[in-house]
Structure 1
Amino acid sequence: MIRIKPLFLSIILLLATGCSDKKEEKSLPVKKIQACPDPKEQNISEQNCSENNGSNLTKISTMLESATILKSIKDETHGVMLDRDRFIVNDVKQPIVLVNFFSTWCPPCRGQLPYFEDLQKKYRKDLFIAGILVNDDVNATQLEQFYKKYHMEYFVSNDIENEYVSAKVAEALKLDANFTLPLTVLYKNGDYYTHYEGVVPVEMIDHDIRMALDHK
């Protein structure tokens, strides 16, 4: 478990009323917990309201304990909060997040990567793709060349925290620690939607993205 950074502690206080060792601290957007409404107006008890707020705070605290910051090969950073079947990326407006765990030495991974660029272009307003490099000791120069060769025009993290994120996601999906690569997971509004172990036809992923967008 990683250590909670001071910025995450400050967020809690607000809610209550190959790799780089240093991570750029960036505040994570959070939704304020609404104060309890007047029980007379809402026809609810003060006890129920207190219990609901306590439950929300516990859930948020759990997510912040599992929060980290990922850095891309282009020095772009995103805060990520994880909690079981939730994966929330900082500053992302698109409702669908596709997380792809890959390695440069993995032939199936390399065969699938170019299709993600097509999906990113097709669903630019609705889809955010995050490539997470795992189990790989490729250096920054080699990764930059790999990035260009496979047209990975989306967020690709080579941060030291990638292994931590992959372990948390594998645990949530009940997968072995040495899960099959590539592993691709779809989230909608932060909630788990579906995942694919190994290579699957891009048409299947495309279909599931459309289904997720159509499902209210």
Structure 2
Amino acid sequence: MQFKTLAFLSILSILFFTGCDSKNENKDRTEVKENKTNEKIITLKTTDNKNLNITIKDEKIIFKDYPNKIVLLNFFATWCAPCKAEVPNLVSLQNTFKNDFAVVSVLLEQNKKNEEVIEFMNKYNINYQVTNSADNFIISDALGGIKSIPTMFMIDKNSSVFQKYVGIVPFEMMEMDIKKLLVK
């Protein structure tokens, strides 16, 4: 009996500390708009029908809608257990650092109805922006492709990637990174 319990806990911890496969197979995506300065301009649609404007240029991820804020760009799926497990941490970080910090979640699921995503957001009390459009896969590709979820990028106030997280991340680690960036 102890062996079964130990085996179960081992499998559970492996699933918990790793991510889910992102299942990124959408072939019918629109192309990234690229101008002469090698900027990639991406517009994502949020669940509340707002446009979120992102520019990728010279290894910077510029959120025009969040000037002078630290942004946590979170790639997730509603079916992913580790993604669900970290939602309370993201909600708490959003509440704690709301003046200097924003979470932006990018849904990596195809053909998910907005109503379903909003239902998910309500179930988990999500208080941050969630994008839901076919263009979500464009930003994934622009950042080198997201191989597993959750994957997050902590972006400082100067639009530089400070940290990349793959898999579930302890609240304390993200909190510590935000505090480092606030004094920077």
Give TM class, smaller chain. Answer: 0.7 to 0.9
In 1: Cα distance, 2:110 partner to 2:81 partner: 13
Q: Which residue of 1 aligns with 2:97?
A: 123
Instruction: Pick from 153, 164, 169 the counterpart of residue 200 of structure 1.
Output: 169
Question: Which structure's residues are more often strand, by fraction?
Answer: 2
Q: Which residue of 2 aligns with 1:179?
A: 147
In 1: Cα distance, 2:41 partner to 2:126 partner: 25
Size of the aligned set, in residue pairs, is 153
SS of corresponding position for 1:62: coil
| Same amino acid, percent of matched pairs | 25
Change (3 A) 1:107 1:128: same
In 1: Cα distance, 2:33 partner to 2:65 partner: 22
Q: Which amino acid aligns with 1:90?
A: K
In 1: Cα distance, 2:152 partner to 2:119 partner: 22
Question: Which structure's residues are more often helix, by fraction?
Answer: 1
Is 2:183 the counterpart of 1:209? no
Deviations 1:65-107 (A, max 9, x none): x101111010121210013531111231343111000000100
Runs of 4+ aligned residues of structure 1 deviating over 4 Å after TM superposition are none
SS of corresponding position for 1:129: strand
Q: Which residue of 1 aligns with 2:73?
A: 99
Contact 1:106–1:181 (CA under 8 A) maintained in structure 2 = yes
Instruction: Pick from 59, 62, 66 the counterpart of residue 38 of structure 2.
Output: 62
In 1: Cα distance, 2:149 partner to 2:110 partner: 12
**Aligned-pair RMSD on alpha carbons?**
1.7
Q: Which amino acid aligns with 2:151?
A: L
In structure 1, runs of 5+ residues without a counterpart are: 10-57, 172-176
In 1: Cα distance, 2:173 partner to 2:146 partner: 24
More displaced stretch, 77-86 vs 142-151: 77-86
SS of corresponding position for 2:38: helix
The higher-RCO structure (CA 8 Å, 6+ apart) is: 2
Q: Which residue of 2 aligns with 1:153?
A: 127
In 2: Cα distance, 1:127 partner to 1:83 partner: 21
In 1: Cα distance, 2:179 partner to 2:48 partner: 29
Q: TM-score, normalised by structure 2?
A: 0.77
